[in-house]
Structure 1
């Protein structure tokens, strides 16, 4: 048994049966107060069969302070899912329904649930003697295209150096399952997500990727080597994937897609469900980061960061937002440290972006928002991006609504 499984897991193996020796993919689904879990399981059941065998692990969970209503909902979901699994599990596609109740309140949430499920996937691959098996993350209210499993299998076969990847996603923008206001809200929120990442790319930041919990996959051995999943109650996907993105060979599967739910949710303190819920309130709107933040960032990242020390004018003439932020974070000392431990521009920049990583970039964005450039409307910000980065005529950008701009940005992400 690996060191990780001996020292870093929270529970011993929860599934007793032997896995198939052909096990190649384990899909992990955290589930909390979810009445439509079976729809997600059916979506996976409808998938075209890959060459390897597949297991699906559902981790129904609640915390020690969960209400009786939540626990009753989880028990009902557990019973329904167990009955469904008895009928629908196949030798090449097995479903396992686990229920962990009364988890420590300090950590109880989606990160901990993913960790327990992903650790269990590692136990399964350990028993199957397949350390390079693939763990895919999905959500209990998500759907996927029929080629989802095949696309994941193919991606890792064609990219043997890949340790982890994202999976392209699209929220539904129309339909009969939700009110029109929900679809309008998710259109603007997904526009915010894509604007934010595209603006980072335009600024020159090399590690700008979407990080969606229902759309990511990782090799079992890489998962363990990087310390597994964190226990954050929200944003766990961002922090998890950015362990792998700077390592190289990271990409996004665009030959299939995950379809996350657009609904409002109380499950997490921030994220999609929370944002949609806020937009549905009277006077609610979708705000995003001001374009000036990325203009300032671009001016900095275009400088000769390797060849010019901060003390020799690297920061001279840069916007105040960048200068103040870097000074507050002791960039001069960090530059000297990096320069003293590297002997080439390539090595310097690689090490620089270990420091100025996605977390530091987010810290700058929030600093600039709080001290220089307040939030702005997402549609206006997206219009700036399309005019500036993609050369849309001003009149065309002015006429474009949120959906038209989102569809364009989706196409760009598919081409990356």
Structure 2
């Protein structure tokens, strides 16, 4: 099942074409597009949604082939407070789970895609093969690349998306460098989960933005989360005001503010974090472990000592202790620490400067421009054929 939330889209058919043109899979693929709007939607958006649906239905009528079927859900008049990409994904993913349940396929795979994204021709086949080969995997993130050159968008958009994607890859690689077990991309158009896991973790949330991050933080800690790096999703770099944060909003701010340089978390914050993670096992038996000041103050703020007592009490050995510690000090707390550190210790710095600092630590040659660094970071990730299982 592939789920596509669709709101105020002009190019839905491009997304559907991309899936239709994929190499044939052995199993049947159902593509569910959720055309969604709120109960007080602007009439222009309602009309655009209707046009998108009508055009898609016409296109589907002329494009039929074995093993792939397209269906549509009209989710109109959603409560304004809840309407958004999270709710739309949830509607489609819930429907996918119910369809799998009807045919007794709780191990079926629910894939998230976007109405302005496209993909490589081996996209569906690689997802099918991945979940068949790695039977224990609960879910996965899928390799992605934003377009970084061409004539479809203004040059300023390409310049902005290069730095924004570099920020995403810097953040992910920095988390891996410091030793966080949850170092995965959480991009809504580039993820998949088993139906049984989806149901057990309470399904998708209704967040207007960040729904992908919050959902995957319920899945990743289960273990056996993985990556597919043998195919590619191509998300759109277009500007958008539909969500309070994320790619579209970042591009909107980049253009509005006429930015030339994107700022990101200071690499020193990650170095301090690495000291804590490297010494984490010591807390199994020791109370007084020497740590950087930023870590000490943050741990005090989040009541570390009280929680440490509980974690120790439930631990059977050092490895078990470390596992429980990271379930407590998870991706949420890591992000919270980075915000704390930014406010009180280390100001944001240029993404090129920060990524160069990380690069020297992981054996990547320094670069003079963001585009070259982005390509280097892409190569690092894509070279991992399969990981974290």
Q: Residues of 2 paired with 1:391 and 1:335: CA distance?
A: 37
* Alignment match of 2:318 (pick from 345, 354, 371): 345
* Alignment match of 2:279 (pick from 276, 292, 303): 303
Q: Residues of 2 paired with 1:113 and 1:133: CA distance?
A: 20
Show the 5 A alignment for 1:262-341.
Answer: 262-284=237-259, 285-307=261-283, 312-314=287-289, 316=290, 318-341=291-314
TM-score where L is the length of structure 2: 0.95
| Structure 1 residue 91: Cα displacement | 4.7
State yes or no: 1:27 paired with 2:5: no
State yes or no: 1:214 paired with 2:189: yes
* Helix, strand or coil at the partner of 2:33: strand
Q: Residues of 2 paired with 1:122 and 1:340: CA distance?
A: 38
Tell me how large the CA RMSD over aligned residues is: 1.4
Q: Residues of 1 paired with 2:280 and 2:332: CA distance?
A: 22
Q: Residues of 2 paired with 1:242 and 1:307: CA distance?
A: 24
Q: Residues of 1 paired with 2:153 and 2:335: CA distance?
A: 32
* Helix, strand or coil at the partner of 2:228: strand
Q: Judge conservation of contact 2:284–2:312 (CA < 8 Å) in 1.
A: no
Q: Judge conservation of contact 1:28–1:138 (CA < 8 Å) in 2.
A: yes
Gaps spanning 5+ residues in structure 1: where?
1-25
Q: Residues of 1 paired with 2:233 and 2:196: CA distance?
A: 24
- Structure 1 stretch 378-387 or stretch 49-58: which is displaced more? 378-387
Q: Judge conservation of contact 2:23–2:121 (CA < 8 Å) in 1.
A: yes
Q: Residues of 2 paired with 1:309 and 1:65: CA distance?
A: 58
| Structure 1 residue 65: Cα displacement | 2.3
State yes or no: 1:66 paired with 2:41: yes
State yes or no: 1:83 paired with 2:76: no
Show the counterpart of 1:22. none
Cα deviation per residue 1:360-403 (whole Å; 9 max; x = unaligned)? 111111111122112211111111111233263xxxx2x52101
| Structure 1 residue 305: Cα displacement | 3.3
Show the counterpart of 2:387. none
* Helix, strand or coil at the partner of 1:213: coil
TM-score where L is the length of structure 1: 0.89
Gaps spanning 5+ residues in structure 2: where?
385-389
* Number of aligned positions between the proteins: 383
Show the counterpart of 2:144. 169
| Structure 1 residue 346: Cα displacement | 1.0
Show the counterpart of 2:109. 134
Show the counterpart of 1:410. 378
Q: Structure 1's 391 and 148: CA in aligned 2 closer, same or farther, altered over 3 A?
A: closer
Show the counterpart of 2:26. 51
Q: Judge conservation of contact 1:309–1:335 (CA < 8 Å) in 2.
A: no
Q: Structure 1's 304 and 74: CA in aligned 2 closer, same or farther, altered over 3 A?
A: closer
Q: Structure 1's 48 and 308: CA in aligned 2 closer, same or farther, altered over 3 A?
A: closer
